[in-house]
Copies of this chain bind each other. A is one copy, B any other.
Amino acid sequence: MDLLKQRILKDGKCLGNGILKVDGFINHQVDPLLMDACGQELARRFAHVGATKVLTAEISGIAPAVMTARHLNLPVVYARKTKPITMPDQVFLTLAPSHTKGRMVELIVSPEYLAGGERVLIIDDFLATGATINGLVRLAQTAGATIVGIGTLVEKTFEGGREALAYLGVPIESLAVIRSMENGQIVFAED
């Protein structure tokens, strides 16, 4: 998706160790019109999968997931990393490694909002190693739901997430696919 790729080239920053800083338009400051366009494009790519719910993880997944869900007219659930007092005692919980925190974090979903029979489209900001998304997959499968697709804004192919999720046999779509960030140079897969 050219709009996103151009913005990454303009405002993204390679911080080394494969870290792409997109805090100016995705992760801390959000460009809502860009995010809406990304949501529209992800919705278009997954229009055929028959999803009944969008699932993401707080925090950075919320904006793209809500925008995608808006265009699909579906509810979106974001997995919490701490259990709020409004959640029942019995929950779906899994652990996933956090890049930014350098430790395992909990991903928690209430059974009230993720049920057997749901067809779940997972949306997140990044597809890197696939560890967070695989955590969401485990939550959905524990609930008895079926994964029908995985969509992200930015994929870093050199971290192997697509291979780690291939066992699911579902479509995986990313709007900007980066195949290399060596020497601080962003190279997209189509280039």
Contacts and interface: CB of A to CB of B under 8 A. Distances in A.
A51 B31 CA distance: 15
Nearest to A81: B59
Interface string A31-64: 1110110000000000000000000001100110
B27 A112 contact: no
A93 interface: no
A6 interface: no
A75 interface: yes
Nearest to A68: B32
A110 B23 contact: yes
A99 to B, nearest CB: 8
Nearest to A86: B21
A113 to B, nearest CB: 4
A103 to B, nearest CB: 11
Given A28-B77, A28-B78, A77-B28, A86 B35 contact: no
B78 A30 contact: yes
A29 B100 contact: no
A23 B88 CA distance: 11
Counting chain B CB atoms within 10 Å of each CB, the highest count among A31, A66, A69, A82 belongs to: A66
Counting chain B CB atoms within 10 Å of each CB, the highest count among A15, A31, A74, A109 belongs to: A31
B32 A70 contact: yes
A101 B100 CA distance: 21
Given A15-B85, A28-B87, 17 more contacts: A15-B86, A19-B85, A19-B86, A23-B84, A27-B86, A28-B109, A29-B112, A30-B66, A30-B75, A32-B69, A32-B74, A32-B76, A35-B66, A63-B63, A66-B66, A82-B100, A85-B99
